[in-house]
């Protein structure tokens, strides 16, 4: 029998967790069981949820803490259609509202997975597009773009591009607007990218923010691609995972999609409620086909605990899934001094993503990009950043002075 | 200037909340302000967020409690497109991930509202369809429908319909399936509804669950309507509010839409994080055009505090919005003895919605419906349920004995 699974953490001071697990397994599938006549049970058996595991954690005598159980339940695939809304409603629809419960992990059956082509590019595809295979990628974020006209936008784009970054992404709060509509924006920025490429010798992906009504997103994406867009940014959680799934599955959407985590904080930070960051920004983003996934880094101001970052990373790159990997993009508060630490945590399959850490560089945006390029090169050669900075890399030196050195 | 507003509760033991509010107002709009040259400030002024209010609550000396502030910020409409994803990303995208913060209220400008026709039917429209204007409506939920074939489904439908309910809704976990596909299900159930109507003399709405891929929902809805569907059920949160907005705005979708709260518990129950129930299931559901909105009642097992229920109700029916009202449907744990209490809390513009409280009736499903009809009639006449039960209403009597009397 094919099942998807869900693992929850249930908190309760005195509940019989085994009984509670059984009631979820029955209640979220066939509804009732013990009352069913024997003949009916036989025909319903294939629809019945099964409790796979109940791990009870009792608080220790001298360490008070909370009483909880990690519970895994199998949900027969036959009960739901092969889309993310159906799975989420099945495993967490009603019970999300039933006391202290957090959804911490999902398991996908092969049959369920068969409906998900996954990321179209993934880590290797993005590396192929950029022709970069031996180091972390570098992404720069537009800063304060609301209210900019096209010339100002082009100017900011060019300064980022000349710094030698691999990817530039729109601000996620840049919506369709009269000053810089997506088609025009893509056209202008890609032209600026080409000009910069002739100087830097580097390829560049520009992720344009896909916004508007749900039904218009595909045509918006295709218009942007026609205008030359070579990547897209998408606020997945404000639209739903199925929208990303449909975008990423569309053969005419021929560019990588970067998933932004906007609104994720409405789900993951509570200990007792919601959906864990690794499900939300790891498992479901990759399942839905995100090529790159942004999430709050543990390094800066908007922080997530390091172990949650590592759990997201694991889901994005695990080879347990029959689909391409997604590139992790830990974001917020990133400056060049953090590059070696990021590479210790993520290896080289990571995007170093900076906004303030590039635009706020004491020597300007272009130098900000260069400082990161230098930091990545130093880390790649296992050189100390401070030493590399002294060896004729003034941009890195200024960055280390401004934000602090290697950690 | 047109603005939408957002009110947050920020928790922090020692932060300068005014400063924090200012940094949100700037950070979520123009990005930076103090660094801007004067000339630039003039052109950016119309994009700048404004702090409207900062109410700091210091914990009292002898009542420890937590330190928090209620902060309201105005976001210029010019910054975002007139759709719910854009508004949510603007007001809660990034900052949802930045410490302990909960989104507690939204304010919509007239200009923003102009893009939202709201519920097509609303309370008055649903009453017109049913020809019932002077009492709460009664809704029955299919129970344990997974694995049922069409004959079993028809049988359960008929027993509910003969009990005299006004609305019957699909289980939200009934997805498109081979046994009971939506078009066939609608056809069979509506025929059963007609037959039952001839006996009860009552009209009946059947809300069929709309499922599948996002891009197929409109055509699924239209097929169901062609097959005779006179209402739809929709798991809004698994798809996103914009999908409901687009469904409810479509002139060819000529039936009321009931919004199911599946997954809502991933957002609202935490004190420190997420989105309040009144925003999630009140303001945004109505804005997106839900004619009926289900939410966990404060009466039963899946509970929400009463004041949160009242806050949802207020948002669904307030006449401060230039759109139709949405019918509140407090759900879960409802039995006939609760009817007077529900009417004290909600007045008569409410749907009494029961699953177990109908199917679990000691005399069967049909009697379960009748017990509610009797309870509603007693409450309408301001009679005590126990007295009315004794006066020749054995179904109500049995219900009060099974689940308890008036509270």
Per-residue H/E/C for B254-277: CCCEEECCCCHHHCCCCCCEEECH
Task: Enumerate the active-site residues of B.
Answer: 94
Give the minimum alpha-carbon distance from B388 to chain A in angstroms, rounded to a whole number: 31
Task: Enumerate the active-site residues of A.
Answer: 94
B279-304 per-position pLDDT tens digit:
999 999 999 999 999 999 999 776 79
Average pLDDT, chain B: 94
Q: Please tell me the predicted confidence (pLDDT) of residue B302.
A: 64
Give the minimum alpha-carbon distance from B15 to chain A in angstroms, rounded to a whole number: 14
Please state, in angstroms and rounded to a whole number, the distance separating the CA atoms of residues A267 and A259.
Answer: 16
Map residue B16 onto helix, strand or coil.
coil
Give the minimum alpha-carbon distance from B207 to chain A in angstroms, rounded to a whole number: 17
Angle at B266 between CA B263 and CA B267, to 5 degrees: 110
Whether B263 sits inside 8 A of A44 (CB atoms) is no
Chain B positions in Cβ-Cβ contact with residue A245 (cut-off 8 Å):
213
Whether A204 and A95 map to the same domain: the answer is no
Question: Confidence band (pLDDT; 50, 70, 90) for B63?
Answer: low
Give the minimum alpha-carbon distance from A288 to chain B in angstroms, rounded to a whole number: 12
What are the C-alpha distances in Å from A201 to residues A131, A197, A339? Answer: 11, 5, 23
Give the minimum alpha-carbon distance from B121 to chain A in angstroms, rounded to a whole number: 22
Chain A positions in Cβ-Cβ contact with residue B88 (cut-off 8 Å):
238, 262-263
Q: Please tell me the predicted confidence (pLDDT) of residue A63.
A: 66
Q: What is the mean pLDDT of residues B267-287?
A: 97
Q: Which of A90, A98, A240 sits opposite B240 (nearest CB)?
A: A240
Whether A91 and A42 map to the same domain: the answer is yes
Chain B positions in Cβ-Cβ contact with residue A214 (cut-off 8 Å):
85, 214, 240, 242-243, 246
The 3-class secondary structure across chain A, one letter per residue, is CCEEEEEEEEECCCCCHHHHHHHHHHHCCCCCCCCCCHHHHHHHHHHCCEEEEEEEECCCCCCCCCCEEEEEEEEEHHHCCCCHHHHHHHHHCCHHHCCCEEEEEEECCHHHHCCCCCCCCHHHHHHHHHCCCCCCEEEEECCCCCCCCHHHHHHHHHHHHHCCCCEEECCCCCCCCCCCCHHHHHHHHHHHHHHHHHHHCCCCEEEEEECCCHHHHHHHHHHHHHCCCCEEEECHHHHCHHHHHHHHHCCCCCCCEEECCCCHHHCCCCCCEEECHHHHHHHHHHHHCCCEEEEECCCCCCCCCHHHHHHHHHHHHCCCCCCCCCEEEEECCCCHHHHHHHHHHHCCCCEEEECHHHHCCCCCHHHHHHHHHHHHHHHHCCCCHHHHHHCCCHHHHHHHHHHCCCC
Chain A positions in Cβ-Cβ contact with residue B270 (cut-off 8 Å):
270, 272-274
Q: Please tell me the predicted confidence (pLDDT) of residue A23.
A: 94
Residue in A closest to B241 by C-alpha: A239
Whether A344 and A363 map to the same domain: the answer is yes
Whether A93 sits inside 8 A of B262 (CB atoms) is yes
Structure tokens belonging to residue A317: 């790159």
Tell me the β-bridge partners of A327.
A292
Residue in B closest to A274 by C-alpha: B266
Final residue in a domain of this structure, among B63, B89, B113: B113
Give the pairing of strands B3-11 and B68-76: antiparallel
For the purposes of burial, counting CB atoms within 10 Å of the CB of A387, is it exposed (0-12), middle (13-18) or buried (19 or more)? exposed
CATH for A64: 3.30.70.150
Chain A positions in Cβ-Cβ contact with residue B214 (cut-off 8 Å):
85, 214, 240, 242-243, 246
- Range 22-51 of A in CB contact (< 8 A) with B: 28-32, 43-44, 46-47
Question: Confidence band (pLDDT; 50, 70, 90) for B37?
Answer: confident
The 3-class secondary structure across B36-57, one letter per residue, is CCHHHHHHHHHHCCEEEEEEEE
Which backbone phi and psi does A140 adopt, to 5 degrees? -120, 145
A284-325 per-position pLDDT tens digit:
999 999 999 999 999 977 679 999 999 999 999 999 999 999
Q: Is there a contact between A75 and A3 (Cβ–Cβ < 8 Å)?
A: yes
Mutation target for A interface from B90, B170, B265, B329: give the one with most A CBs within 10 A.
B265
Q: Please tell me the predicted confidence (pLDDT) of residue A292.
A: 98
Map residue B211 onto helix, strand or coil.
coil
Check CB contact of B263 with chain A, cutoff 8 Å.
yes
Whether B104 and B190 map to the same domain: the answer is no
Chain B positions in Cβ-Cβ contact with residue A30 (cut-off 8 Å):
144, 146-147
Residue whose structure tokens are 């009960």? A79
Q: Please tell me the predicted confidence (pLDDT) of residue A144.
A: 80
What are the C-alpha distances in Å from B211 to residues A73, A99, A389, B221, B293? Answer: 23, 26, 57, 9, 17
Final residue in a domain of this structure, among A93, A113, A133: A113
Give the minimum alpha-carbon distance from A213 to chain B in angstroms, rounded to a whole number: 7
Q: Please tell me the predicted confidence (pLDDT) of residue A32.
A: 79
Nearest to A137 by CA among A165, A113, A111, A159: A165
- Range 268-307 of B in CB contact (< 8 A) with A: 269-270, 272-275, 296, 301-302, 304
Chain B positions in Cβ-Cβ contact with residue A144 (cut-off 8 Å):
30-32
Looking at chain A, the whole-number percentage of residues with pLDDT higher than 90 is 90
Whether A270 sits inside 8 A of B275 (CB atoms) is no
Angle at B303 between CA B302 and CA B304, to 5 degrees: 140
Which is higher by pLDDT, A163 or B62?
A163
Whether B200 and B72 map to the same domain: the answer is no
Distance of CA A97 to the CA centre of its chain: 25
Whether B81 and B147 map to the same domain: the answer is no
Residue in B closest to A301 by C-alpha: B98
Q: Is there a contact between B204 and B196 (Cβ–Cβ < 8 Å)?
A: yes
Find the domain containing A196 and state its range: 122-403
Angle at B171 between CA A98 and CA B232, to 5 degrees: 120
Q: What is the mean pLDDT of residues A249-268?
A: 97
> Residue B73 carries which DSSP code?
E
A80-103 per-position pLDDT tens digit:
999 999 999 999 999 999 999 999
Whether B86 and B233 map to the same domain: the answer is no
Residue in B closest to A96 by C-alpha: B265
Structure tokens belonging to residue B293: 């909105």
Which backbone phi and psi does B335 adopt, to 5 degrees? -135, 165
Whether A263 sits inside 8 A of B211 (CB atoms) is no
Give the minimum alpha-carbon distance from B361 to chain A in angstroms, rounded to a whole number: 14
Q: Is there a contact between A145 and A171 (Cβ–Cβ < 8 Å)?
A: yes
Check CB contact of A53 with chain B, cutoff 8 Å.
no
Q: Which of A81, A213, A272 sits opposite B246 (nearest CB)?
A: A213
> Would you say residue B65 has pLDDT above 90?
no
For the purposes of burial, counting CB atoms within 10 Å of the CB of B196, is it exposed (0-12), middle (13-18) or buried (19 or more)? buried
Whether A11 and A128 map to the same domain: the answer is no
Q: Is there a contact between B277 and B312 (Cβ–Cβ < 8 Å)?
A: yes
Structure tokens belonging to residue A332: 């917020």
Residue in A closest to B102 by C-alpha: A266
Check CB contact of A374 with chain B, cutoff 8 Å.
no
Q: What is the mean pLDDT of residues A10-22?
A: 95
Final residue in a domain of this structure, among A113, A145, A167: A113
CATH for B318: 3.20.20.110
What are the C-alpha distances in Å from A265 to residues A215, A237, B169? Answer: 26, 10, 32
What are the C-alpha distances in Å from B148 to residues A382, B96, B152, B157? Answer: 63, 42, 6, 12
Please state, in angstroms and rounded to a whole number, the distance separating the CA atoms of residues B99 and B21.
Answer: 13
Q: Is there a contact between A172 and A210 (Cβ–Cβ < 8 Å)?
A: no
CB atoms within 10 A of CB A130: 16
Q: Please tell me the predicted confidence (pLDDT) of residue A191.
A: 95
Structure tokens belonging to residue B120: 């097509």
Q: Please tell me the predicted confidence (pLDDT) of residue A322.
A: 95
Please state, in angstroms and rounded to a whole number, the distance separating the CA atoms of residues A347 and A313.
Answer: 10
> Residue B241 carries which DSSP code?
H
Edge-to-edge strand list for the sheet holding B101-107: B50-57, B68-76, B3-11, B101-107, B273-275
Whether B270 sits inside 8 A of A267 (CB atoms) is no
Say how many CA atoms lie within 13 Å of A134 toward its Cβ.
4
Structure tokens belonging to residue A298: 């543990």
Map residue B85 onto helix, strand or coil.
helix
Whether A29 and A128 map to the same domain: the answer is no
Check CB contact of A84 with chain B, cutoff 8 Å.
yes
Count contacts between A and B (CB, < 8 Å). 227
Q: Please tell me the predicted confidence (pLDDT) of residue A302.
A: 64
Q: Is there a contact between B343 and B332 (Cβ–Cβ < 8 Å)?
A: no
B67-104 per-position pLDDT tens digit:
999 999 999 999 999 999 999 999 999 999 999 999 99
Nearest to A253 by CA among A278, A283, A217, A215: A217
List the single range of A5-9, A148-152, B248-252 with lowest mean pLDDT. Answer: A148-152
Whether A167 and A278 map to the same domain: the answer is yes
B115-146 per-position pLDDT tens digit:
999 999 999 999 999 999 999 999 999 988 89
Residue whose structure tokens are 């210790």? A344
Q: Is there a contact between B287 and B116 (Cβ–Cβ < 8 Å)?
A: yes
Check CB contact of A117 with chain B, cutoff 8 Å.
no
A339-350 per-position pLDDT tens digit:
999 999 999 999
Chain B positions in Cβ-Cβ contact with residue A296 (cut-off 8 Å):
97
Whether A265 and A324 map to the same domain: the answer is yes
- Cβ partners under 8 Å of residue B405, min gap 6: B337, B385, B386
Residue in B closest to A249 by C-alpha: B213
> Would you say residue B244 has pLDDT above 70?
yes
Number of domains observed in the structure of chain B: 2
Structure tokens belonging to residue A30: 């066939």
Whether A102 and A22 map to the same domain: the answer is yes
Q: Is there a contact between A204 and A166 (Cβ–Cβ < 8 Å)?
A: yes
Q: Is there a contact between B316 and B286 (Cβ–Cβ < 8 Å)?
A: yes
> Would you say residue B35 has pLDDT above 80?
no
């Amino acid at each position: 029998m094919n099942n998807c699974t869900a693992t929850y953490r249930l908190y309760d001071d005195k509940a019989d967790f085994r009984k509670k697990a059984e009631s979820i397994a029955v209640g979220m599938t066939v509804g009732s069981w013990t009352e069913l006549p024997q003949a009916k049970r036989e025909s319903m058996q294939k629809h019945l949820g099964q409790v796979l595991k109940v791990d009870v954690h009792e608080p220790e005598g001298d360490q008070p803490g909370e009483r909880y159980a990690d519970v895994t339940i199998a949900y027969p695939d036959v009960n739901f259609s092969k889309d993310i809304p159906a799975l989420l409603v099945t495993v967490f629809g009603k019970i999300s509202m039933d006391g202290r419960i957090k959804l911490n992990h999902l398991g996908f059956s092969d049959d369920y997975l068969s409906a998900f082509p996954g990321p179209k590019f993934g880590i290797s595809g993005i590396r192929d597009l950029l022709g970069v295979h031996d180091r972390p990628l570098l992404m720069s974020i537009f800063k304060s773009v609301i209210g900019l006209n096209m010339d100002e936008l082009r100017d900011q784009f060019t300064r980022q591009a000349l710094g030698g970054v691999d990817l530039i992404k729109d601000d996620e709060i840049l919506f369709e607007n009269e000053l810089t509509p997506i088609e025009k924006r893509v056209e202008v920025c890609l032209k600026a990218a080409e000009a910069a490429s002739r100087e830097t010798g580097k390829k560049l992906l520009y992720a344009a923010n896909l916004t508007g009504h749900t039904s218009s997103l595909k045509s918006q994406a295709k218009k942007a691609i026609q205008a030359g867009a070579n990547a897209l940014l998408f606020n997945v959680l404000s639209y739903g995972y199925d929208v990303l799934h449909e975008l990423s599955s569309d053969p005419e959407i021929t560019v990588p999609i970067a998933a932004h985590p906007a609104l994720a904080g409405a789900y993951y930070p509570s200990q007792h409620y919601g959906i864990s960051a690794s499900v939300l920004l790891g498992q479901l983003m990759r399942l839905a086909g995100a090529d790159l996934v942004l999430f709050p880094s543990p390094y800066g101001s908007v922080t997530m605990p390091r172990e949650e970052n590592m759990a997201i990373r694991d889901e994005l790159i695990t080879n347990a899934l029959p689909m391409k990997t997604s590139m992790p993009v830990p974001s917020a508060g990133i400056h060049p001094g953090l590059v070696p630490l990021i590479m210790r945590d993520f290896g080289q399959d990571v995007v170093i993503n900076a906004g303030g850490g590039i635009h706020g560089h004491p020597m300007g945006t272009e130098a900000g990009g260069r400082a990161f390029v230098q930091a990545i090169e130093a880390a790649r050669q296992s050189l100390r950043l401070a030493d590399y900075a002294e060896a004729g890399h003034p941009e890195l030196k200024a960055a280390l002075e401004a934000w602090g050195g290697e950690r």
